[in-house]
C-alpha cells in the first residue's frame, strides 16, 4: 500500500510538473504583421513585433508601439529564426494579422512562401494578404499609424472596413488564396497598399504628435495574379467592377451625373450576383446578373426624385454606371491581363464538366475571347430622411 | 537526450512492475500471467534499448505490409487517386 | 467474463464512439484524395452498406448468445485454424491499441507542441488508458455514455459554428467523374469507422443484459457515428475545398480553425480535438480490452487484470517504433491497414457465416 502511494505520487509529479515546451508570455515576442520582399540574396522578411511596454495603458513610455525586425537570407524559415541572434525573445506567429508582399516578390511568385505558411503550426488561417504597390513590404510595415497604434491591426481593420463600406478591396485569407492558385478556372486578386505622400517620415513617434502632413497607408487598386504571379493592377473603378461581379459588395457609395454638373449619390445597401452560362457550338458564353438595392444618399440641384417618371431615370443612371464598372474590369482582365480573376472558368466547370476538360488547358486564351454579358438591375429602396431636395421651390 | 529519457522512463517502470506485480503473480501461481508479463516487459525494454543504442528492431507494421504486399498492385489501382 | 452488465444505451454509445473515434479526423484527407469533391457521397454510401454490415454482424453473433468473438472463431473453425485466427486477431488489437496513442501524440506534436517528445504525450495518454481498462468493462461502458454525449455535443457545436464559412461551390460539379471514385473512397471510410466495430463482438451479445433489443441499438449507434463522420467530411469539403482537405493532415482541425463568429466564437478549434480524443479513447479502450480478453481466453489466464500494467508499458514502447514518420504512416494506411482490417473485419465474419450455414445444413440442426 505504501509502495502504491509512492508510485502514484511520482506519476503525478511527472504529469503535473508543467508543460514540456511551455513558453511564458514574457519570453515571447508577438508578431502582428509580416512583410516579405524579394531581394538579390533571396528574401527579406520583416516582422512587426508588438512592444508590450508601449501599448500597456498603465505605464507611460515614449517607446514606439512596434519594433521592426528585418533580416535577409535565402530561406524563409531560417530567416525567421535569425531573430534569435538579434532578439532576446523568440518570435511567436499565431497572432499574425497581415502578410504583406512586396511588389517584386509578388511578381516573382508567392507559391513557395504560402507552402511554409500553411505547413508551420504557429500560423493560423485567419490573416489577410496585401501587396505593397510600387514599394517594398518593409517600407509599408515601418509606417506608424494614428488612432490604432499597432499598424498591423490597423491594416487588418481598414481592409475589412474598406471591403464592407467602400467595395474596392477584397480580404483574402490563406485558404481562399491557395484555392484560387490551384484552381484552373480562377485566379487570385489581392488588395494593394500604397504609402501616401507626406513631408514627414512616419517611422518615429513624433509623427503621432502632429495632426497632418505625415506619411500614411492606404489601400488602393487590386493586384491581379496569374497563378501565383502578380501581372497587373486594376484601377479603383475596375476594382469596384470586380467586386460587383464576384458579389463581394456589401455597402458602397456610387454617384452619377444627371446633367453636366449635378449629381445623384446612392448608397448601395445590398448586392447579389448570379452567373449563368450557356454553350452554343462548343463555345461557352456567360451572363452575369447583378441585383443591387440602393438608397438615395444625396441629390444636388433641384432634381425631383419623387416624381414617378423620374424614378426610372434615377435607376437607369445607376445601372449604366455599374455596368461601366463591370465592363471596364472585364475589359482589363480580358484584353490586357488575360487572367480570369472572376472565377468564370469554375462556373463553366460546374455546369459543363466535359467541355471544361477540353478547354481548361487553354483557359487563359479562351477566357480572353469569352463573350460575357452584364444585366444590372437596381431597386430603389429608401430616399433617406428627406424626400425631395429641400431646396426645391414649390411652384404652386 | 530525449531518447535517454524514454529509456529511463521505460526501465524505471519495468523495475517498479517487477518489484510490485511480478512476485505476487508467482506467489499466487498464476504462471500464464507471469509469462505474458515477462514477455511484454522484455519487449518494451528491448525497444527502449534500441532507441538508446541505436539498433533497429522489427516493426510490426512492416509485417502487415509484407503480408499484404501481393495485393499492392490491386490496392494501388483501387485507392490511389481514383 | 460473461457477466450481463452492458445496457442497451451503453452499447449505443460504445458503437457510436467506436465509429467516430477512428475516422473523424483521419479519413477525410484520404477520401478527398480519391473522390475529390464527391467524397461526401462516398461517406453516405459507406454509411448505407455499413448499416447492412452491422446487421450481418448481429445476425452472426446472435446465433451464439453466450460466446464472444474469439470463442465463436474457435467453435466454428476448429482448434488449430481457429487459434491461428485468434492470434491474428490479438495482433490486430494490440497493434491498434498502440496506433491510436501514436495518432494522439502525432496530432499534438504536429499541431501544437512540436518540441515535445511524442512519447511523453503518449505516456500520459496510456496511463489514462491503463486506468480505464483496469476499472473494468462496466465502469468503462458507463463512462463511454458521458464521453459520447460530450464528444458529439462539442463536435456538432464546432460544425454549426463553421457553417457561415461554407461555400456551396466547393461541392460542384457533383459526380464529375462518375460514381466510381466515391465508391472507392467509401472503402477507406469503412475501414476506419465500420469494419473496426468487429471489436464490439467481444462484448456483444454475451455481456448485454437485454440481448433482444440490442441489435437495434447497435445499428443505431453505428448510424449516429457514421453521421458524425459524414458531417466532418461534408463540411471539410464545403469549407476547405477538396484540394486543401486532401493535402491537410488533420482536416477537421484546420476546418475548426476557420471558426470566427464575432469575438467570442473564435480560436476555439481545440473543441474538435477534445471531441476527437474523447471518442478516440472509447475505441482505444475497446481495442485494449478486446486484446486482453482474447489473450486471456487463448492462454487461459485466470486473472487477466494482472497483465494490464506490463501490456500498457509495451504499448508505450510499441507506439514509439510503430510508425517512423507520417509519410510511412500514410503509406501504411493504404497498403497495410485497409487490407488488414478488411481481412479481419469483413472476410473473417463472412467466412464464419458460411461455415456456420454449412455446418447447420450438414448436421440438420443448430450447431
- Does B21 reach chain A within 8 Å, measured CB to CB? no
Residue in A90, A68, A99 with CA at minimum distance from that of residue A24? A90
Q: What is d(CA A26, CA A221) in angstroms, rounded to the nearest whole number?
A: 40
Q: Which chain C residues are closer than 8 Å to A346 by Cβ?
A: 169
Of chain C, the percentage scoring pLDDT greater than 70 comes to 98
Q: What is d(CA C204, CA C57) in angstroms, rounded to the nearest whole number?
A: 10
Q: What is d(CA C180, CA A108) in angstroms, rounded to the nearest whole number?
A: 40
DSSP letter for A387, please: S
pLDDT per residue as tens digits for the range B6-63: 888 888 888 888 888 888 888 888 888 889 889 999 999 999 888 888 888 888 889 9
- Does C320 reach chain B within 8 Å, measured CB to CB? yes
Q: What is d(CA A128, CA A109) in angstroms, rounded to the nearest whole number?
A: 17
Q: Please state, in angstroms and as integers, the Cα–Cα distance from residue C316 to each residue in A393, A396, B38, B50, following that order.
A: 90, 96, 16, 14
* CA C241 to mean position of chain CA atoms: 25
Place of cell 492606404: A218
Tell me the average pLDDT across C223-239.
91
Q: What is d(CA A68, CA A80) in angstroms, rounded to the nearest whole number?
A: 13
Domain boundaries, chain C: 8-342
pLDDT of residue A327: 92
- Which chain C residue lies closest to B78 (C-alpha atoms)? C184
Residue A9's CB is within 10 A of a number of other CB atoms, namely 10
Fold of A237-396: GMP Synthetase; Chain A, domain 3 (3.30.300)
Q: Please state, in angstroms and as integers, the Cα–Cα distance from residue A354 to each residue in A36, A279, A372, following that order.
A: 40, 12, 21
Q: Tell me which chains share at least 3 CB pairs under 8 Å with chain A.
A: B, C
Res. C367 pLDDT band, cuts 50 70 90? very low
pLDDT of residue A101: 93
Q: What is d(CA A129, CA B16) in angstroms, rounded to the nearest whole number?
A: 56
Residue in A269, A208, A229, A275 with CA at minimum distance from that of residue A101? A229
pLDDT of residue A54: 74
Residue in A67, A68, A128, A139 with CA at minimum distance from that of residue A102? A139
DSSP letter for C263, please: T
pLDDT per residue as tens digits for the range C132-147: 898 888 888 899 999 9
pLDDT of residue B2: 67
Q: Do C113 and A21 count as a contact with CB atoms less than 8 A apart?
A: yes
Q: What is the mean pLDDT of each run of 10 residues along chain A (396 residues)?
A: 72 63 76 91 89 72 81 86 77 89 91 88 87 89 81 87 84 88 88 81 68 79 90 90 87 84 86 88 89 86 77 87 91 90 89 87 88 89 75 68
Q: Do B16 and A4 count as a contact with CB atoms less than 8 A apart?
A: no
A 5-64 near B (Cβ less than 8 A): 7
Place of cell 475516422: C23
Q: Do C301 and B72 count as a contact with CB atoms less than 8 A apart?
A: no
Q: What is the ipTM of this complex?
A: 0.91
pLDDT per residue as tens digits for the range C28-84: 888 888 888 889 999 999 999 999 999 988 888 888 888 888 888 888 888 888 899
Q: Which chain A residues are closer than 8 Å to B20 by Cβ?
A: 3-4, 7
pLDDT of residue B81: 54
Q: Please state, in angstroms and as integers, the Cα–Cα distance from residue B44 to each residue in A373, B40, C81, C90, following that order.
A: 71, 6, 29, 18
Beta-carbon contacts of A31 under 8 Å, excluding residues fewer than 6 positions away, are: A47, A48, A49, A50, A91, A92, A93, A95, A96
Q: Tell me which chains share at least 3 CB pairs under 8 Å with chain C.
A: A, B
pLDDT of residue A1: 60
Angle between helices C69-77 and C270-299 (to 10 degrees): 40
Length of chain B in terms of residues written:
82
What is the pairing mode between strands A283-299 and A372-380?
A: parallel
Residue in C353, C307, A285 with CA at minimum distance from that of residue B32? C307
Q: Do C113 and A353 count as a contact with CB atoms less than 8 A apart?
A: no
Q: Which CATH superfamily is domain C8-342 in?
A: Amino acid/polyamine transporter I (1.20.1740.10)
Q: Which chain B residues are closer than 8 Å to A7 by Cβ?
A: 16, 20
DSSP, collapsed to helix, strand or coil, labels residue A229 as: strand
pLDDT of residue A18: 57
Q: Which of B13, B32, B57 sits opposite C313 (nearest CB)?
A: B13
Domain boundaries, chain A: 22-234, 237-396
Q: Do A21 and C116 count as a contact with CB atoms less than 8 A apart?
A: yes
Please, what is the Cα angle at A271 between A270 and A273, to 5 degrees?
A: 155
Res. C123 pLDDT band, cuts 50 70 90? confident
pLDDT of residue C305: 82
Res. C258 pLDDT band, cuts 50 70 90? confident
CB distance A326 to A374 below 8 Å: yes
Strand order in the sheet with A252-257: A252-257, A263-280, A283-299, A372-380
Q: Tell me which chains share at least 3 CB pairs under 8 Å with chain B.
A: A, C
Amino acid at each position: 500500500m505504501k509502495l502504491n502511494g509512492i508510485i502514484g505520487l511520482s506519476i503525478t509529479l511527472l504529469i503535473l510538473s508543467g508543460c514540456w515546451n511551455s513558453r511564458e508570455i514574457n519570453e515571447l515576442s508577438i508578431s502582428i504583421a509580416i512583410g516579405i520582399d524579394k531581394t538579390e540574396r533571396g528574401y527579406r522578411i520583416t516582422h512587426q513585433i508588438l512592444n508590450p511596454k508601449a501599448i500597456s495603458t498603465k505605464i507611460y513610455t515614449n517607446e514606439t508601439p512596434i519594433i521592426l525586425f528585418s533580416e535577409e537570407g535565402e530561406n524563409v524559415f531560417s530567416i525567421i529564426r535569425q531573430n534569435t541572434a538579434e532578439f532576446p525573445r523568440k518570435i511567436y506567429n499565431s497572432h499574425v494579422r497581415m502578410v504583406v508582399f512586396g511588389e517584386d516578390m509578388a511578381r516573382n511568385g508567392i507559391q513557395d512562401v504560402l507552402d511554409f505558411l500553411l505547413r508551420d503550426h504557429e500560423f493560423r488561417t485567419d490573416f489577410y494578404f496585401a501587396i505593397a504597390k510600387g514599394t517594398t513590404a518593409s517600407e509599408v510595415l515601418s509606417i506608424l499609424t494614428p488612432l490604432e497604434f499597432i499598424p498591423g491591426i490597423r491594416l487588418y481593420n481598414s481592409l475589412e472596413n474598406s471591403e464592407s463600406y467602400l467595395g474596392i478591396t477584397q480580404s483574402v485569407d490563406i485558404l481562399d488564396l491557395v484555392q484560387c492558385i490551384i484552381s484552373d478556372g480562377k485566379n487570385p486578386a489581392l488588395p494593394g497598399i500604397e504609402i501616401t505622400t507626406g513631408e514627414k517620415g512616419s517611422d518615429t513617434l513624433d509623427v503621432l504628435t502632429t495632426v497632418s502632413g505625415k506619411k500614411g497607408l492606404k489601400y488602393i487598386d487590386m493586384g491581379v495574379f496569374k497563378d501565383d504571379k502578380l501581372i497587373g493592377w486594376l484601377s479603383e473603378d475596375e476594382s469596384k467592377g470586380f467586386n460587383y461581379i464576384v458579389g463581394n459588395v456589401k455597402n458602397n457609395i456610387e454617384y452619377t451625373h444627371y446633367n453636366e454638373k449635378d449629381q445623384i449619390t446612392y448608397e448601395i445597401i445590398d448586392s447579389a450576383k448570379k452567373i449563368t452560362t450557356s454553350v452554343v457550338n462548343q463555345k461557352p458564353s456567360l451572363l452575369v446578373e447583378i441585383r443591387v438595392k440602393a438608397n438615395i444618399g444625396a441629390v444636388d440641384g433641384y432634381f425631383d426624385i419623387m416624381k414617378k417618371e423620374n424614378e426610372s431615370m434615377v435607376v437607369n443612371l445607376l445601372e449604366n454606371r455599374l455596368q461601366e464598372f463591370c465592363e471596364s474590369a472585364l475589359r482589363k482582365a480580358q484584353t490586357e491581363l488575360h487572367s480570369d480573376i472572376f472565377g468564370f472558368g469554375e462556373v463553366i466547370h460546374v455546369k459543363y464538366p466535359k467541355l471544361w476538360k477540353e478547354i481548361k488547358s487553354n483557359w487563359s486564351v479562351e477566357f480572353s475571347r469569352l463573350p460575357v454579358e452584364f444585366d444590372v438591375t437596381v431597386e430603389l429602396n429608401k430616399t433617406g430622411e428627406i424626400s425631395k431636395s429641400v431646396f426645391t421651390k414649390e411652384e404652386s | 537526450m530525449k531518447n535517454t529519457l524514454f529509456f529511463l522512463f521505460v526501465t524505471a517502470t519495468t523495475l517498479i512492475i517487477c518489484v510490485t506485480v511480478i512476485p505476487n503473480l508467482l506467489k499466487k501461481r498464476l504462471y500464464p500471467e507471469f509469462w505474458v508479463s515477462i514477455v511484454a516487459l522484455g519487449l518494451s525494454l528491448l525497444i527502449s534499448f534500441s532507441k538508446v543504442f541505436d539498433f533497429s528492431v522489427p516493426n510490426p507494421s512492416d509485417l502487415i505490409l509484407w503480408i499484404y504486399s501481393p495485393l499492392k498492385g490491386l490496392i494501388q489501382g483501387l485507392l490511389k487517386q481514383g | 467474463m460473461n457477466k450481463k452488465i452492458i445496457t442497451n444505451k451503453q452499447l449505443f454509445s460504445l458503437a457510436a464512439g467506436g465509429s467516430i473515434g477512428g475516422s473523424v479526423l483521419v479519413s477525410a484527407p484520404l477520401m478527398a484524395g480519391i473522390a475529390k469533391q464527391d467524397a461526401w457521397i462516398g461517406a453516405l454510401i459507406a454509411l448505407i452498406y455499413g448499416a447492412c454490415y452491422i446487421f450481418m454482424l448481429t445476425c452472426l453473433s446472435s446465433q451464439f448468445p453466450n460466446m464472444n468473438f474469439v470463442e465463436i472463431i474457435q467453435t466454428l473453425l476448429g482448434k488449430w485454424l481457429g487459434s491461428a485466427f485468434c492470434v491474428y486477431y490479438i495482433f490486430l488489437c494490440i497493434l491498434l491499441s498502440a496506433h491510436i496513442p501514436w495518432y494522439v501524440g502525432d496530432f499534438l506534436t504536429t499541431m501544437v507542441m512540436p518540441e515535445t517528445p511524442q512519447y511523453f504525450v503518449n505516456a500520459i495518454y496510456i496511463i489514462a488508458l491503463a486506468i480505464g481498462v483496469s476499472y473494468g468493462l462496466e465502469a468503462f461502458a458507463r463512462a463511454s455514455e458521458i464521453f459520447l454525449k460530450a464528444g458529439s455535443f462539442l463536435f456538432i457545436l464546432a460544425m454549426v459554428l463553421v457553417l457561415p464559412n461554407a461555400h456551396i461551390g466547393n461541392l460542384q460539379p457533383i459526380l464529375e467523374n462518375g460514381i466510381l471514385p466515391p465508391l472507392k473512397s467509401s472503402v477507406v471510410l469503412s475501414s476506419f469507422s465500420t469494419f473496426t466495430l468487429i471489436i464490439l463482438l467481444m462484448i456483444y451479445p454475451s455481456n448485454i443484459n437485454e440481448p433482444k433489443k440490442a441489435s437495434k441499438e447497435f445499428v443505431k449507434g453505428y448510424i449516429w457515428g457514421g453521421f458524425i463522420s459524414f458531417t466532418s467530411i461534408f463540411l471539410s469539403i464545403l469549407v476547405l475545398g477538396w484540394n486543401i482537405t486532401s493535402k491537410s493532415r488533420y482536416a477537421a482541425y484546420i476546418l475548426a480553425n476557420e471558426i470566427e463568429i464575432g469575438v467570442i466564437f473564435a480560436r476555439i478549434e481545440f473543441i474538435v480535438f477534445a471531441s476527437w480524443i474523447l471518442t478516440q479513447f472509447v475505441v482505444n479502450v475497446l481495442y485494449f480490452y478486446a486484446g486482453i480478453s482474447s489473450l486471456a481466453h487463448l492462454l487461459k489466464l485466470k486473472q487477466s487484470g494482472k497483465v494490464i500494467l506490463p501490456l500498457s508499458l509495451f504499448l508505450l514502447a510499441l507506439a514509439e517504433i510503430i510508425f517512423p514518420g507520417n509519410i510511412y504512416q500514410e503509406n501504411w494506411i493504404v497498403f497495410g491497414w485497409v487490407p488488414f482490417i478488411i481481412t479481419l473485419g469483413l472476410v473473417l465474419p463472412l467466412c464464419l457465416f458460411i461455415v456456420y450455414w454449412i455446418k447447420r445444413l450438414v448436421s440438420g440442426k443448430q450447431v
